Amino acid sequence: MNDLFSLQGRTALVTGGSRGIGRMIAAGFLAQGAKVYISARKAEACDETARELSALGTCISLPADVSTPEGMHALVAAYAKREPQLDILVNNAGAAWGAAFDEFPEKGWDKVVDLNLKTPFFLTQALAVQLRKAAELRPAKVINIASIDGVTVNPQETYSYSASKAGLIHLTKRMALRLIQDNIVVSAIAPGAFASDMNRDARDHAAEISARIPAGRIGVDDDMAGAAIYLASRAGDYVVGATLVVDGGVSFAR
């Protein structure tokens, strides 16, 4: 049973891995024996996180801005120079934007939808050679990080964010049907309230947010790491196209 959740001998790439949910996942993968590459737009933060996480295992920083095609392809080239295959890709880099309906700007739509929905598809496509190489030995994994805002409606006016995450959940199903033919398993995680720079309410007002969650608390690092390890490991090989909701029950209470 220990081997069921082991990531020993596997390589992983986590976008948006310098902080928040990406960092939680990277730390969990390292603890289970994976070699982890993390990417983030801010090079200094990415490098610092990699140094800190190296206490758990081999963690390598590959700074890149995956919101642009140039940055995305630079990341792929940097990874390909170091590794011939990729066992686990976590599409976590994301953005949010909130504004009233009558004032919501087009730039707020394009920025969020491009990064949250377009990038996961094209980054996976660009890394298909490395994923297929890994899949010759055992199933390779692609894990898209969605959100409960793509499952149920949030009262906040985050139109592009909600739409992009709902789209990502459906895109996960479509990608899964195609890529399972290549022994690549695609799935998703829909997190609820976890403390991060993106979810500042959970970070700064944990007690207030916890009162609205059936589990009575916000998510902690191990909650997210455990879900990602499950999907990335042998334990998740038969979970194809599914979205794992990790939210303490809040999406059912809305």
Supply the residues annotated as catalytic: 161
Spatial separation of the C-alpha atoms in residues 247 and 115, rounded to whole Å: 23
- Per DSSP, the three-state class of 88 is strand
What is the strand order of the sheet 184-191 is part of? 59-61, 35-39, 11-15, 88-91, 140-145, 184-191, 243-246
- Per DSSP, the three-state class of 78 is helix
Spatial separation of the C-alpha atoms in residues 6 and 88, rounded to whole Å: 13
Cα angle, residue 218 at apex, residues 110 and 215 outer, rounded to 5°: 125
Whether residue 93 contacts residue 114, with contact meaning beta carbons closer than 8 Å, is answered with: no
